[in-house]
Amino acid sequence: MHLTPEDFSAIALSMKIAVTATALSLPFGFATAWVMVFKRFRGKVLLEVLVNLPLTLPPVVIGYFLLLMLGRNGWIGQALSSVGIELVFTWKAAVLASATVGFPLLVRSIRLGMESIDHQLLQASRSLGAPWYDTLATVILPLSFRGMVAGSSLMFARSLGEFGATIIVAGNIPGLTQTIPLAIYDYASSPTGTAMALSLCIVSIALSVSVLFLHEVIGKKLEHGGKA
Amino acid sequence: MKLCIDIEKRLGDFSLKLNTEISGERVGIFGASGSGKSTLVHLIAGLIKPDAGEIYLDETCLFSSRKKIDLSPEKRRISIVFQQATLFPHLGVKSNLLYGYKRCRPAERRIRPEAIIEVLNLGHLIGRGVNKLSGGEKQRVALGRAVLANPRLLVMDEPLSALDDSLRYQIIPYLRSVSTEFGIPCLFISHSLTEMQLMTERVLVVRDGRLAGISTPDELARTGMATNPRGYLNLLRLDGATQKDGLFHYPWGEGHLIISEGRAGEESLFELSSRDIILFKQHPEAISARNLLECRVAELFDSDGRKGVVLESGGKTLVAEIVRSAAEELGIAPGTMLFAAVKASAFRRLS
């Protein structure tokens, strides 16, 4: 197995993007899941469709929409540009792409965790003097922890593999925005790149297995902790 | 405690419409499953919102659609003990117990954790995780947690129905003691008449989401005597047993009650059906039943074609059930002296 300095840079960037996208999405994912599980309001179905849309849309479509919004002529892009922030073709755009594509997976896992919480625990908490935000922090949050861990690992793994949206909105610039899948794509397009592509594939598999393994271990620990 | 309710609530096909006022320190809400008892509890505690109406607890308005008042559950200070213990699974026994206490304003903290731990005998459970407790222990912790929130009203929503019979009657003294020792008004919800008799002094009867009446648990038991498959259930707290020939002799009234399944050395609670008592006008010469009690008829009451006979001996009473023709044949009237025969095995020990 042979890895070039560019490959190491792609691995580091992939990790950085996946960690940032997951960390940034977690509070929003928790809030969205909470709203979907515990709140009743008109337009809830619309919210569900919007949250789950990235699961069914081709990532390239998502990337293209992000590009339209974040580009110089896009309404978000213009606003950011006026305060000196450029996102398109930077690693931050790759974070946004990964966050958008992985968000439904995160919300879905947290939601499953929240749905398994006995509603009477929340009623008990409220009747024992806790305002809604206290119940959220002291009952819902700790009891959703397993769902959050599961969702974060899924989202992290999905971010590591993100390709379509990233290449459109962040490009494929070695050392700047080139992640593992984009580097593999480059090697696969070159007649002499098979060995290099395979090396990165092995790294990719190792990373995914590690994430899933960690996910299982933490899940088991939390399960045993819950039974203490 | 005085509770004034005038509310309407529709939930799918079911509608609850109540307009009543009830006061007392230990009030019961009695009704069959699906009659609206739990909905009523949720409305009082603020866990669901009435469609219209008003709820007052003493002088405090908890809800009024007219005045646009809807106090949030945490501001109502009404603690609930649910059917399942609903202990927070991620917290230990101590943190569960103190959950409401920590959220209670210091000025309102009348009841100290040490006192409740002693009364509910929770000392040895404090360091444990809640998933390592038995059903009865869990319910005691849930009760302690509810009381430590120092509520103005303690609601017990069928707290015993998830427990088996032996545990159920072990918990009842704890339920009674928290209400009496700490002076917390208590609203007890159940479909069990026996539990109502043991726990409450006034009962609000709910049927199909409507008020069916307000009475005392004893009146309720008398009214339902003929229709209840087990008749009127006499509940007897007996102590000071002596054992003779494998039977337990308990002092009662002017004599003794002889019981097969007694327990020496501690107070026990027994149940005796009104249908297990046979009445004789004169002393029968020989009889296999071990109890033959000479009693005076204190009172007679009707229940759907049956006669309830309240028998008195040394200040203690028992209710026997007979058909109307038997009452006429025996010439029973208040003041009549009778002999009541009861088999030693007819008494069922509850705790």
Under DSSP, is residue A70 helix (H, G, I), strand (E, B) or coil? helix
User: How many of the other CB atoms lie within 10 Å of CB of B292?
Assistant: 16
pLDDT value at A227 more than 50: no
Confidence of residue B173 (pLDDT cuts 50, 70, 90): confident
By C-alpha distance, which of B36, B50, B45 is closest to B72?
B45
Listed in order, the ranges of chain B carrying CATH 2.40.50.100 are 233-349
Q: Which pLDDT value is given to residue B305?
A: 85
Phi, psi of A71 (to 5 degrees): -65, 175
Q: Pick the closest to residue A47 from A102, A107, A97 (CA basis).
A: A107
Instruction: Note the pLDDT of residue B274.
Output: 95
* CATH annotation of B2-223: 3.40.50.300
Q: Does A223 touch chain B (CB under 8 A)?
A: no
Range of the domain at A151: 5-226
Q: Please answer yes or no on whether B82 and A120 come within 8 Å at the CB atom.
A: yes
> In whole angstroms, what is the distance from residue B295 CA to residue B289 CA?
16
Distance (Å, rounded) from C-alpha B238 to C-alpha A49? 66
pLDDT tens track for A34-69: 999 999 888 899 999 999 999 999 999 999 999 999
| CB B276, CB B311: distance < 8 Å | no
φ, ψ at B27 (rounded to 5°): -105, 140
Q: Which residue has the tokens 């696969």?
A: A188
Nearest CA in chain B to A142: B90
Count of domains observed in chain A: 1
The pLDDT confidence band at residue B135, using thresholds 50, 70 and 90, is confident
Name the packing angle between helices A5-38 and A145-160 (round to 10°). 140
Q: What is the pLDDT of residue A158?
A: 92
Closest CA to B162 of B86, B234, B71: B86
- In this prediction, residue B263 carries a pLDDT of 87
Q: Give the integer Cα–Cα distance in Å for B34 and B232.
A: 24
Q: Which of residues 27-56 of B touch A (CB under 8 A)?
A: 42, 45-47
pLDDT value, residue A192: 87
pLDDT tens per residue, range B179-236 = 788 889 999 999 888 889 989 999 999 999 999 999 999 999 999 898 888 899 999 9
Residue B15: which H helix or E strand, with range?
Answer: strand B14-23
In chain B, the percentage of residues whose pLDDT exceeds 70 is 100
Distance CA A160, CA A179 (A): 8
Q: Does residue A58 belong to the interface with chain B, where contact is any CB pair within 8 Å?
A: no
Q: Give the span between the Cα atoms of B136 and B156, in whole angstroms.
A: 15
CA atoms within 13 A on the CB side of B18: 31
B39 closest CA partner among B66, B57, B17, B20:
B17
Residue B287 φ then ψ, to 5°: -150, 145
| Percent of chain B at pLDDT exceeding 90 | 68
Radius of gyration of chain B (CA): 23
Residue among B42, B101, B326, B249 at smallest CA distance from A129: B101
Q: What is the pLDDT of residues B287-308, one digit of tens each?
A: 888 999 999 999 999 998 899 9
CA distances from B310 to A48, B258, B304 (A): 66, 20, 16
Q: Measured between CB atoms, does B58 come within 8 Å of chain A?
A: no
Confidence of residue A224 (pLDDT cuts 50, 70, 90): low
Residue extent(s) of CATH 3.40.50.300 domains in chain B = 2-223
> Strands B26-30, B202-207: parallel, antiparallel or unpaired by DSSP?
parallel
Burial of A189 (0-12, 13-18, 19+ CB in 10 A): exposed
Is B129 within 8 Å of chain A by CB?
yes
Look at residue A228 in the predicted model and tell me its pLDDT: 39
- Can you read off the two tokens belonging to residue A152? 């974060």
Structure token pair of residue B248:
């337990």
Q: Give the separation between CA B43 and CA B38, rounded to whole angstroms.
A: 9
Angle, nearest 10°, between helix axes A91-115 and A44-56? 130
pLDDT tens for A60-117 read 999 999 999 998 888 898 899 888 888 899 999 999 999 999 999 999 999 999 999 9
Question: Which of B137, B156, B135, B160 has the alpha carbon at shortest distance from B146?
Answer: B156
- Least CB-CB distance to A129: which of B82, B104, B131? B104
Per the CB < 8 A criterion, the answer to whether A88 and A70 are in contact is yes
pLDDT tens, position by position, A175-201: 899 999 999 999 999 888 899 999 999
* pLDDT of A225 above 70: no
Contact B339/B293 with Cβ under 8 angstroms?
yes
Query: In 3-state terms, what secondary structure has residue B245?
Result: coil
What pLDDT, in 10s, does the model give residues A122-169? Answer: 999 999 999 999 999 999 999 999 899 999 999 999 999 999 999 999
The mean predicted confidence, pLDDT, of chain B is 91
Q: How many Å lie between the alpha carbon of B50 and the closest alpha carbon of chain A?
A: 16
Q: What is the CATH number of the domain that holds A116?
A: 1.10.3720.10
**B105 contact partners, CB below 8 Å, separation of at least 6:** none
Q: Inter-chain contact B82–A142, Cβ cutoff 8 Å?
A: no
For range B17-43, the mean pLDDT: 92
Report whether B198 contacts B233 (CB < 8 A).
no
Place of tokens 């020989």: B286
B103 part of contact set with chain A, CB < 8 Å: yes
pLDDT band at B265 (very low <50, low <70, confident <90, very high): confident
Q: Looking at chain A from residue 112 to 171, which residues have their Cβ under 8 Å from any Cβ of chain B?
A: 118, 120-121, 123-132, 134, 138-139, 142-143
- CATH assignment of B233-349, given 2.40.420.20, 3.40.50.10480, 2.40.50.100, 3.40.50.300? 2.40.50.100
DSSP, collapsed to helix, strand or coil, labels residue B295 as strand
CA distance B78 to chain A (A): 6
Q: pLDDT (tens digit, 9 = 90+) per residue, B64-77?
A: 999 999 999 999 99
Please report the pLDDT score of residue B163 as a whole number.
79
- pLDDT for B172 equals 83
B14–A contact, CB cutoff 8 A: no
Mean pLDDT of B50-79: 95
Contacts of A226 in chain B (CB under 8 A): 89-90, 131
Taking the CA atoms of residue A218, residue A222, residue A223 and residue A228 in that order, the dihedral angle to the nearest 10 degrees is 140
SS3 state of residue B292: strand
**Distance, CA of A50 to CA of A64 (rounded, Å):** 17
Residue B78 has pLDDT above 60, yes or no: yes
Report the relative pairing of strands B78-81 and B153-157 from DSSP bridges.
parallel
